[in-house]
Amino acid sequence: MNTFASVHEVVINMGITSVKEEDFLVIDLHADIPEDISARREKGETHVLETTHLRKFREGGIDAAIFAVWVESEFKPCGALRRGLQIVENVYEELSETNEFVLVTSPFDIVKAKEYGKIAVILGVEGAELIEQDLRLLRIFHRLGLKTLGLVWQQRNIIADGLGERRTRGGLSNFGVDVIKECNRLGIIVDLAHLTEPGFWDVLEATEKPVIVSHTHVQPVARPKESWAGLNDEQIKAIAKNSGIMGICTVTTAKADPPGTVDLVVKEMEYVKRLVGIDCLAFGADYYDFLFPALKIEMPEYDFVLMPGLEDASKTHNLARKMMEKGFSNREIRKILGENFLRLFKEVTS
Ligand SMILES: [Zn+2]
| Interval between CA 228 and ligand 1 midpoint (Å) | 10
pLDDT confidence of residue 23: 67
| Interval between CA 215 and ligand 1 midpoint (Å) | 7
**pLDDT range class, residue 12, cuts 50, 70, 90:** very low
| Interval between CA 142 and ligand 1 midpoint (Å) | 21
Q: Please write the tens of the pLDDT for every residue from 331-346.
A: 999 999 999 999 999 9
Q: Is the pLDDT of residue 19 over 70?
A: no
What one-character-per-residue DSSP string does 6-27 give? HHHHHHHHH--S----SSS--E
| Interval between CA 36 and ligand 1 midpoint (Å) | 14
pLDDT confidence of residue 250: 96
| Interval between CA 155 and ligand 1 midpoint (Å) | 12
Lowest-confidence region among 22-31, 60-69, 233-242:
22-31
In a domain, 49, yes or no: yes
Closest to 250 (Cα-Cα) out of 295, 213, 287, 299:
287
Q: Please write the tens of the pLDDT for every residue from 132-172.
A: 999 999 999 999 999 999 999 999 999 999 999 999 999 99
pLDDT confidence of residue 292: 83
Give 339's DSSP letter: I
Query: What is the Cβ-side half-sphere exposure of residue 197, based on CA atoms within 13 angstroms?
Result: 14
Give bridge partners of residue 146 from the DSSP assignment. 123
In a domain, 5, yes or no: no
Q: Phi/psi at 113 (nearest 5 deg)?
A: -55, -45
- What is the arithmetic mean of pLDDT over 5-18? 38
| Interval between CA 116 and ligand 1 midpoint (Å) | 30
pLDDT confidence of residue 9: 39
Q: Please write the tens of the pLDDT for every residue from 25-49.
A: 999 999 999 999 999 999 999 999 9
Distances from the Cα of 56 to the Cαs of 215, 263, 315, 316, in angstroms?
19, 21, 8, 9
Q: Please write the tens of the pLDDT for every residue from 271-313.
A: 999 999 999 999 999 999 999 877 877 778 888 999 999 999 9
pLDDT confidence of residue 168: 92
The domain that contains 89 carries what CATH number?
3.20.20.140
pLDDT confidence of residue 194: 96
pLDDT confidence of residue 227: 63
| Interval between CA 180 and ligand 1 midpoint (Å) | 19
In a domain, 14, yes or no: no
* pLDDT, averaged across the chain: 92
In a domain, 6, yes or no: no
pLDDT confidence of residue 24: 81
- The bridge status of strand 252-253 relative to strand 304-305 is antiparallel
| Interval between CA 182 and ligand 1 midpoint (Å) | 23
Closest to 35 (Cα-Cα) out of 76, 82, 83, 101:
83
In a domain, 138, yes or no: yes
**pLDDT range class, residue 74, cuts 50, 70, 90:** very high
Share of the chain above pLDDT 90, in %: 85
Number of domains in the chain: 1
pLDDT confidence of residue 295: 80
| Interval between CA 13 and ligand 1 midpoint (Å) | 36
Q: Phi/psi at 29 (nearest 5 deg)?
A: -80, -10
Amino acid at 217: H
Helix (H, G, I), strand (E, B) or coil at 270: helix
| Interval between CA 8 and ligand 1 midpoint (Å) | 32
pLDDT confidence of residue 257: 87
Distances from the Cα of 27 to the Cαs of 63, 180, 195, in angstroms?
6, 24, 22
In a domain, 4, yes or no: no
Question: Going by C-beta distance under 8 Å and a sequence separation of 6 or more, which residues neighbour residue 300?
Answer: none
Chain centroid, CA 307 distance in Å: 16
pLDDT confidence of residue 308: 95
User: Cβ distance 104 to 64 under 8 Å?
Assistant: yes
In a domain, 251, yes or no: yes
| Interval between CA 194 and ligand 1 midpoint (Å) | 6
Range of the domain at 203: 20-349
In a domain, 10, yes or no: no
Can you say whether the dihedral through the CA atoms of 78, 177, 205, 150 is positive or negative?
A: negative
| Interval between CA 2 and ligand 1 midpoint (Å) | 35
| Interval between CA 153 and ligand 1 midpoint (Å) | 6
